[in-house]
Amino acid sequence: MRTSEALREIYNRLLAHFGPQGWWPGDSPFEVMLGAVLTQNTSWQNVEKAIANLKNEGLLSVEALSLLPVEKLAEIIRPAGYHNLKAQRLKNLIALIEDQGGVAALLNQPTAVLRELLLSVKGIGPETADSIVLYAAGRSIFVIDAYTHRILCRHGLVAEDCDYFQMQELFMDNLAEDAALFNEYHALLVRLGKEFCRKSQPKCECCPLKTVGEQQED
């Protein structure tokens, strides 16, 4: 089975099994950007608490967060974990947004420029940058995360040492360039990961993908 066919088959099965995921969970591009930083190595459940705190404090704006001392911000986002680290990272992101003339102006930059601007922020790496490019700006870039890596490895589609950009190329070289497809695909991989492919479930039994790439039928 060719790679492009296998990736399509995986997508079709995930969509049939789970249905559309409606990502990203967030009410605005700005909230998506904050969530992308807050969810670094952290369960979304904890991120929701931090975002709820920000909303309750009326801090879900560039202006409010810009004026807020980093120590205060850290306390408010404490449930998301690494709060001191993430408070500074959010501040760094806010500084970029202001420097670029606001959220809309930043997100309207050409995709490659936007990506480089985000990566220039201390505390924003490939996954966080790509999450913002795809889910806040709506550009067709494929987001890779720990679940994606684990799923691809466990199904023998990539080697264990396959890095972020190799996995990203795997998807982007073998799928139509379609932001809606990339959006749903990544969300479905995370859904699959949460339910069937956590570290504590090494067998991946009952996984809806278990025969993809093999010759046998279901």
Contacts with DNA, residue ranges (CB under 7 A): 23-25, 35-36, 39-46, 49, 78-79, 81-86, 121-129, 131, 135, 145-147, 161, 163, 190, 193-194, 198-200
Residue 102 or 125 with smaller CB distance to DNA: 125
Least spacing, CB of residue 101 vs DNA, in Å: 23
Residue 4 or 201 with smaller CB distance to DNA: 201
Least spacing, CB of residue 39 vs DNA, in Å: 4
Rg of the chain taking only CA atoms, in angstroms: 18
DSSP string, 189-212: HHHHHHHH--TT-TT-TT-TTTTT
Structure tokens at 205: 């039994």
Least spacing, CB of residue 184 vs DNA, in Å: 13
Residue 45 or 216 with smaller CB distance to DNA: 45
Least spacing, CB of residue 107 vs DNA, in Å: 16
User: Number of H helices and number of E strands within the chain?
Assistant: 12, 0
Asked, as a colleague might, if the bond just before 24 is cis with ω within 30 of 0, I would say yes
> Distance between CA 143 and CA 182 in Å, rounded?
8
